[in-house]
Chains A and B, each alone.
Chain A
């Protein structure tokens, strides 16, 4: 259950950053992001997948959230 810092990069993509693992990847897809809620399985540019129960209303970035390995 890593603590993940989420922030936008210069290109406006959402970055997924885990300090302890030096993991800094762009989120390529997210299961639910329909304006009402945000979450589900996220996929990163390196192919890793993580999961978070959908949050509604969607969180404001940058923020830190806890994800599960998915």
Chain B
């Protein structure tokens, strides 16, 4: 915060904490901090991945959301059954806007909701028979589905159904990949454990059984891991990699397929965008198959350029030249975007509160537009994410972990950012407070934001939101009149 010093920010945190009872105060204090770039390890200043306190408004989701919604859901040629009552799947259906190509209901199933719709009798007598029947039905109705994943909702774990056994028998019968995922919502403290469980399920039920499958690989095979193709993100990233001469053999999991996942261990390099949700499987592939992985960032021209060069450095001169060519080619394109929008956005201050990656990855894109991120925080990050955040953020800026509704509002009132980027649950509160807001989980029905093409859309969206004429109409006309008369009377 350019105009706030470290002491002021610290005082602000103290003030906000004051209303809590003593015990809660102590607990929450660990999750709020003032950024200090000289700190090497985030564990010295912030605690993360802990259970949210009862009574506060947390914005987190559940393990089922992390597995079905994030990791598995976008795998387009598989049917993902929300196993349990109907609500968990129906209320989250198609909300993340993972784009894909295909005929929905024929060979792709991304936006459909499949559920075993548990009733009382399934809870009392167990749902394994029903699950077996569902698998048969799916096999009959959707013969082009390449596989099925069973995404457990809370009751499955509670009543002790044996979905693994059903998966095994049915997989033999149908000859298709059937993956039981133990991602019951009560596991862990947030959706983060759901990612991990989903990664482990991919390891055990997809990658390992497919070892030895034939695949004609080349020297230039890479994969995009942890890109969910929100609004087309993965496509905007993929074209850059392909233009520099690489071959993208898999997208995880936006617009991805089962076959692509199976082929991933044959890649030369795994490119990891969302570290939080897919580092587990990347580490596994490195250890088991010797496929190295690296993190990259395709938000905003500065970071894209850095990332393209870092990726190219892993390959021969042909790719290195390719990277330079791509960087040169797109320079006029993004320069025009910066020239157009930077004067309109320069100096604006942003507060972010998103999931597990964007609170740090997107900072560069804002900086390219002359904006400053003055506060950031994650819903479900771990300390390795905060380690990666400290250097991206300015000194004396606010960092908040699993921020509560109350804290976030108070911070905003005091820091007075020009723009907030967060989720749908926060959106209307802040808009009603008169602060421009972008929903940064699914890009507010826009996107893509990755890559050079995405940057142009990102810049336009930020401008559209910040400089919208509606913000001048926050004071009703009669109050404005009052002001004027007051001035006139003086």
Measured CB to CB, the nearest residue on chain B to A10 is B294
Measured CB to CB, the nearest residue on chain A to B293 is A7
Q: What's the minimum C-beta distance from A65 to chain B, rounded to whole angstroms?
A: 11
Measured CB to CB, the nearest residue on chain B to A8 is B292
Q: Count B-side interface residues using an 8 Å CB cutoff.
A: 13
Cα-based distance from A57 to B41 in the complex (angstroms)? 34
Q: Count A-side interface residues using an 8 Å CB cutoff.
A: 10
Measured CB to CB, the nearest residue on chain A to B385 is A22
B384 touches A62 (CB 8 A): no
A64 touches B287 (CB 8 A): yes
A22 touches B283 (CB 8 A): no
Cα-based distance from A38 to B287 in the complex (angstroms)? 18
B287 touches A22 (CB 8 A): no
Q: Which residues from B are CB-within-8-Å of A46?
A: 41, 43
Question: Mask for B39-65, Cβ within 8 A of A = 1, else 0?
Answer: 001010000110000000000000000
Q: What's the minimum C-beta distance from B218 to chain A, rounded to whole angstroms?
A: 24
A7 touches B283 (CB 8 A): yes
B283 touches A17 (CB 8 A): yes
Query: With an 8 A cutoff between CB atoms, is B280 at the interface?
Result: yes
Cα-based distance from A7 to B196 in the complex (angstroms)? 19
B49 touches A22 (CB 8 A): yes
Cα-based distance from A63 to B289 in the complex (angstroms)? 11
Cα-based distance from A64 to B280 in the complex (angstroms)? 13
Cα-based distance from A7 to B292 in the complex (angstroms)? 10
A63 touches B41 (CB 8 A): no
B387 touches A62 (CB 8 A): no
Query: With an 8 A cutoff between CB atoms, is B465 at the interface?
Result: no
B384 touches A22 (CB 8 A): yes
Cα-based distance from A63 to B287 in the complex (angstroms)? 5
Query: With an 8 A cutoff between CB atoms, is B382 at the interface?
Result: yes
A22 touches B382 (CB 8 A): yes
B280 touches A19 (CB 8 A): yes
B280 touches A62 (CB 8 A): no
Measured CB to CB, the nearest residue on chain B to A61 is B287
Q: Which residues of chain A in 46-70 are interfacial with respect to chain B, using CB atoms and an 8 Å cutoff?
A: 46, 62-64
Q: Is the interface of B mostly helix, strand, loop or mixed?
A: helix
Cα-based distance from A24 to B43 in the complex (angstroms)? 11
Query: With an 8 A cutoff between CB atoms, is B111 at the interface?
Result: no
B383 touches A62 (CB 8 A): no
Q: Which residues of chain B in 13-41 are interfacial with respect to chain A, using CB atoms and an 8 Å cutoff?
A: 41
Measured CB to CB, the nearest residue on chain B to A19 is B280
Q: Which residues from B are CB-within-8-Å of A63?
A: 287
Q: What's the minimum C-beta distance from B388 to chain A, rounded to whole angstroms?
A: 10
Query: With an 8 A cutoff between CB atoms, is B463 at the interface?
Result: no
Q: Which residues from A are CB-within-8-Å of B41?
A: 46
Measured CB to CB, the nearest residue on chain B to A25 is B41
Question: Mask for B447-484, Cβ within 8 A of A = 1, else 0?
Answer: 00000000000000000000000000000000000000
Contact of B286 among A19, A22, A24, A62 (CB under 8 A): A62
Q: Which residues of chain B in 342-393 are interfacial with respect to chain A, using CB atoms and an 8 Å cutoff?
A: 382-384, 387
Q: Which residues of chain B in 131-156 are interfacial with respect to chain A, using CB atoms and an 8 Å cutoff?
A: none
Q: Which residues from B are CB-within-8-Å of A24?
A: 384, 387
A62 touches B287 (CB 8 A): yes
Measured CB to CB, the nearest residue on chain A to B286 is A62
Q: Which residues from A are CB-within-8-Å of B286?
A: 7, 62
Measured CB to CB, the nearest residue on chain B to A46 is B41
Cα-based distance from A24 to B283 in the complex (angstroms)? 13
Measured CB to CB, the nearest residue on chain B to A17 is B283
Answer whether A5 and B283 are a contact pair too, CB < 8 Å, given A22-B49, A46-B41: yes
Q: Which residues from A are CB-within-8-Å of B196?
A: 19
Q: Which residues from A are CB-within-8-Å of B43?
A: 22, 46
Answer whether A7 and B287 are a contact pair too, CB < 8 Å, given A19-B280, A22-B382: yes
Cα-based distance from A17 to B382 in the complex (angstroms)? 13
Cα-based distance from A5 to B287 in the complex (angstroms)? 8
Answer whether A22 and B383 are a contact pair too, CB < 8 Å, given A7-B286, A46-B41, A62-B286: yes
Q: Which residues of chain A in 1-52 are interfacial with respect to chain B, using CB atoms and an 8 Å cutoff?
A: 5, 7, 17, 19, 22, 24, 46
Q: What's the minimum C-beta distance from A27 to chain B, rounded to whole angstroms?
A: 15
Cα-based distance from A5 to B43 in the complex (angstroms)? 20
Cα-based distance from A35 to B41 in the complex (angstroms)? 32
Q: What's the minimum C-beta distance from A6 to chain B, rounded to whole angstroms?
A: 9
Can you list 23 A-B contacts with CB-CB less than 8 angstroms, sorted by A residue number?
A5-B283, A5-B287, A7-B283, A7-B286, A7-B287, A17-B283, A19-B196, A19-B280, A22-B43, A22-B48, A22-B49, A22-B382, A22-B383, A22-B384, A24-B384, A24-B387, A46-B41, A46-B43, A62-B283, A62-B286, A62-B287, A63-B287, A64-B287
Tell me the A residues contacting B by CB distance below 8 Å: 5, 7, 17, 19, 22, 24, 46, 62-64
Q: Which 5 A-B pairs have the closest CB atoms?
A: A22-B382, A22-B383, A62-B287, A62-B286, A24-B384
Add 7 more A-B contacts to A17-B283, A63-B287 (CB < 8 A): A5-B283, A7-B287, A19-B280, A22-B48, A62-B283, A62-B286, A64-B287
